[in-house]
Amino acid sequence: MRLAVLLFMVGALFSKGLPLASQTGPPQRQADTFAYSIVHGTIDVVISTSEGFVLASDSRVSRDLATGPSYSDDGEKLFAIGDHAALVIAGLVGSQINGDGCIVRDAIGTQMRLLDRSAKGRLQPLSAFDIATDFRDSLDRVARLVGGGVNGRQKFVGQASIVSFNPNGTSEWVKMDLPVEVKSGEDGKVWPNVGDPVYRAHSGHAEREFDVDLLGQPAIAEKMLSARSPSVDWHTQTPIMRRYYASKRNGTLNQFTLQEGISLAQELVQATIDLAPVSAGVGGPIDIATVTKTGIHWIQHKAQPEALPPSHVLVTNSQLSPQALDDLECVHCDFTNAKLFYTGKADVVIVDGKFGGNCRLVLSPEAERRRPEVVARLRVLVQNKCRIVAQSSNYP
pLDDT tens digits for range 195-248: 777 877 665 555 678 999 999 889 999 999 999 999 999 999 999 999 999 999
Phi first, then psi: what are they for 168, rounded to 5°?
A: -80, 0
Q: Three-state SS string across 187-213, please? A: CCCEEEEECCCEEEEEECCCCCCCEEE
Query: Where is average pLDDT lowest: 19-28, 126-135, 235-244, 308-317?
Result: 19-28
DSSP 288-338: EEEEETTEEEEEE--SS---PPPP-EEEES-B--SEE-TTEEEES-EEET-
CB 179 within 8 A of CB 194: yes
Calculate the CA 268 to chain-centre distance: 20
Answer yes or no: is pLDDT of 16 > 60. Answer: no
pTM over 0.75? The answer is no
- Which candidate, 57, 45, 42, places its Cα nearest to that of 302? 57
Per-residue burial over 381-392, b if 16 or more Cβ lie within 10 Å, else e, is bbeebbebeeee
- Provide the percentage of residues in the chain whose pLDDT is more than 70: 70
Q: Which residues pair with 96 in a beta bridge?
A: 105
pLDDT band of 68, cuts 50, 70, 90: low
Contacts of 84 (CB under 8 A, 6+ apart): 125, 126, 164, 165, 166, 167, 291, 295, 296
End-to-end CA distance of the chain: 35
Cβ neighbours of residue 3 closer than 8 Å, sequence gap 6 or more: 149, 150, 151, 154
Beta strands in 76-189 (DSSP E): 78-81, 85-90, 96-99, 102-105, 156-165, 171-184
pLDDT in tens, 73-123: 888 889 999 999 999 988 654 444 434 444 444 567 777 888 888 888 777
Confidence check: pLDDT of 134 > 60: yes
State the DSSP H helix or E strand holding residue 71, giving kind and residue range, or none if neither: strand 68-72
Cα–Cα distance, 206 to 191 (Å, whole number): 43
Highest mean pLDDT among 4-13, 52-61, 304-313, 363-372: 52-61
- Of 39, 125, 50, 49, the closest CA to residue 89 belongs to 39
pLDDT of 67 strictly over 70 = no
Confidence (pLDDT) at 190: 61
CA distance 386 to 23: 62
> Domains of the chain by range and CATH?
3-300 (3.60.20.10), 313-390 (no CATH)
Q: In terms of DSSP bridges, do strands 323-324 and 339-342 run parallel, antiparallel, or are they unpaired?
A: parallel
User: Which of 135-139, 183-187, 346-350 comes out lowest in average pLDDT?
Assistant: 183-187
The number of beta carbons lying within 10 Å of the beta carbon of residue 285 is: 19
Q: Which of 384 and 13 is assigned the larger pLDDT? A: 384
261-300 pLDDT per residue, tens: 999 999 999 999 999 998 888 999 999 999 999 999 999 9
- For the chain, the maximum distance between any two Cα atoms, rounded to a whole number of angstroms, is 80
